[in-house]
Amino acid sequence: MRDEGGWRKKHNLTECATGRIAESAEEVDMLLNLLCKNFTHPKLFRICGSADFWCLYKKYLILIHVFSIIQGHVNRIQLYHFMKDTNMQRRRSRTKYCMGELIEREDFSEDLAAFKFKTDEQLPFIPGQYATIGFEVDEKIVQRPYSIVSSPHEPFMEVFVELVPEGATTPLFWELKLGDKVFIRDRLVGKFVMDTESGMTRHVMAGTVTGAAPYISIARTQKIEQEQGQSSPHKILCIVGASRSWELGYYMDELNELAAQEEWFDFVPTVSRPWEDTEWQGEAGRAEDVIRKYGDEIGYDHTNAVVYACGHPQMIENAKAIWARARFPEEHIKEEKFFVIKE
């Protein structure tokens, strides 16, 4: 868009210096260039005897003043537009986010906690997808993706986070107090969602600690929609491994309760360090150690089920190899790796 104010000021100044009225911004620039050439040409100073010389010289001095005014004006215009563009870019970057206010926090251990945020707008998503959550650090937003625990039907966003001391964002979660705010990207994305298109109606979902997050979101959503009168043919076997049982916090009770209430949901928690959790009476071993045992026991196999692995990369690789040997086709094996998970 043309700068009308700047063009009009140039127009008036060139008219004053040349006696000619410019009809366009392009003509104004042409006249200024012409004046500059004429009044600095060497021949001009050989006409000292000319009666017009002093008049021309006077106009030359005026022109120098004119140029200084114009140049200053142009510089101000350029600075204004630069600042305007910078501010617009900053505003655009901020408009990619909504704000999330911490309304609840539950620490399960020194390095595992659940965080609930109230967002200033409802963000649609499919259960299993993730949110990109950011913190402002040195006037920049540092952000990382986190799988969503909550259902899209719930009035808050919940995430299950493991502290990584050298991480870019998880230490900042541990500094949060109730009422503090974070940035949440306004697009919630991800492909790790329940397969409803293959025709399979059974789902084996294996995870490690925070890798349970997408499965909880899927299960909560199915339960809420069932309470709303919607029916679903999908059945879920959820197997979650942790080093010690308390690492799953209140999710352990939630999933156990859901399994007791709903025929479509089975839950198997397993502990890989039972010697550090002496009161634990449940399954012992890693998640991948028991996926065949419980899958076969309730009839989830390659002919009727899709399988999912989420969390620790090594667990995922082990589980994929076990399912491949059980004849699950590659397209029915879904994965979501959390690249930094403590053993």
- Neighbour count for residue 242 (Cβ, 10 Å): 29
How many separate helices (H) and strands (E) can be counted in the chain? 8, 12
Predicted confidence (pLDDT) per residue in 3-14, tens digit = 444 444 444 444
Q: Which pTM was predicted? A: 0.72
Predicted confidence (pLDDT) per residue in 105-123, tens digit = 999 999 999 999 999 999 9
- Asked if domains 96-185 and 202-337 share a fold, the reply is no
- Neighbour count for residue 110 (Cβ, 10 Å): 8
Q: What is residue 11's predicted lDDT score, i.e. its pLDDT?
A: 47
Higher pLDDT, 42 or 168: 168
Task: Identify the three-state secondary structure at position 69.
Answer: helix
- Neighbour count for residue 258 (Cβ, 10 Å): 20
Predicted confidence (pLDDT) per residue in 135-193, tens digit = 999 989 999 999 999 999 999 999 999 999 999 999 999 999 999 999 999 999 999 99
**Distant-in-sequence, close-in-space partners of 37: CB < 8 Å, separation ≥ 6:** none
Rounded CA gap, 212 and 268, in Å? 12
Predicted confidence (pLDDT) per residue in 51-68, tens digit = 454 555 555 556 555 555
Q: What is the mean pLDDT of residues 311-329?
A: 96
Q: What is residue 75's predicted lDDT score, i.e. its pLDDT?
A: 56
| 20-24, 252-256, 279-283: least confidently modelled range | 20-24
Strand locations in 69-195 (E): 97-109, 112-119, 130-137, 140-147, 157-162, 181-185
Provide the residue ranges of all domains of the chain, joining segments of one domain with +: 4-94, 96-185, 202-337
Nearest to 254, CA basis, from 160, 341, 174: 160
Rounded CA gap, 148 and 157, in Å? 7
CATH of the structural domain 202-337, one choice from 3.30.750.24, 3.40.47.10, 3.30.360.10, 3.40.50.80: 3.40.50.80
Report phi then psi at 312, rounded to 5: -65, 130
Q: What is residue 35's predicted lDDT score, i.e. its pLDDT?
A: 53
Higher pLDDT, 296 or 50: 296
202-208 vs 112-119, strand pairing mode: unpaired
Is the pLDDT reported for residue 274 higher than 70? yes
For the range 323-331, what are the long-range contacts, defined as Cβ-Cβ under 8 Å and sequence gap of 24 or more? 323/291, 326/292, 326/295, 326/301, 326/302, 327/301, 327/302, 328/302, 329/302, 331/198
Query: What six digits make up the tokens of 300?
Result: 């989830």
Q: What is residue 28's predicted lDDT score, i.e. its pLDDT?
A: 53
Angle CA(172)–CA(175)–CA(177) in degrees, nearest 5?
125
Nearest to 207, CA basis, from 336, 309, 337, 324: 309
CA dihedral 302, 330, 220, 292 (to 10 degrees): 50
Q: What is residue 338's predicted lDDT score, i.e. its pLDDT?
A: 78
Q: What is residue 139's predicted lDDT score, i.e. its pLDDT?
A: 87
Is the pLDDT reported for residue 44 higher than 80? no
Q: What is the mean pLDDT of residues 263-277?
A: 97
Q: What is residue 161's predicted lDDT score, i.e. its pLDDT?
A: 97
Q: What is residue 26's predicted lDDT score, i.e. its pLDDT?
A: 61
* Size of the chain, expressed as the number of residues it contains: 343
Is the pLDDT reported for residue 72 higher than 60? no
Percentage of the residues of the chain whose pLDDT score is greater than 70: 71
Fold of 96-185: Elongation Factor Tu (Ef-tu); domain 3 (2.40.30)
Q: What is the mean pLDDT of residues 37-51?
A: 46
Query: What six digits make up the tokens of 157?
Result: 């966003």
Higher pLDDT, 253 or 18: 253
130-137 vs 181-185, strand pairing mode: antiparallel
Helix 213-227 to helix 249-261 angle (10° resolution) is 40
Is the pLDDT reported for residue 24 higher than 60? no
Rounded CA gap, 74 and 7, in Å? 10
Nearest to 322, CA basis, from 302, 343, 297, 298: 302
Q: Confirm if 288 and 320 have CB atoms less than 8 A apart.
A: no
Q: What is the mean pLDDT of residues 248-255?
A: 97
Average pLDDT across the chain, whole number: 82
Rounded CA gap, 294 and 218, in Å? 20
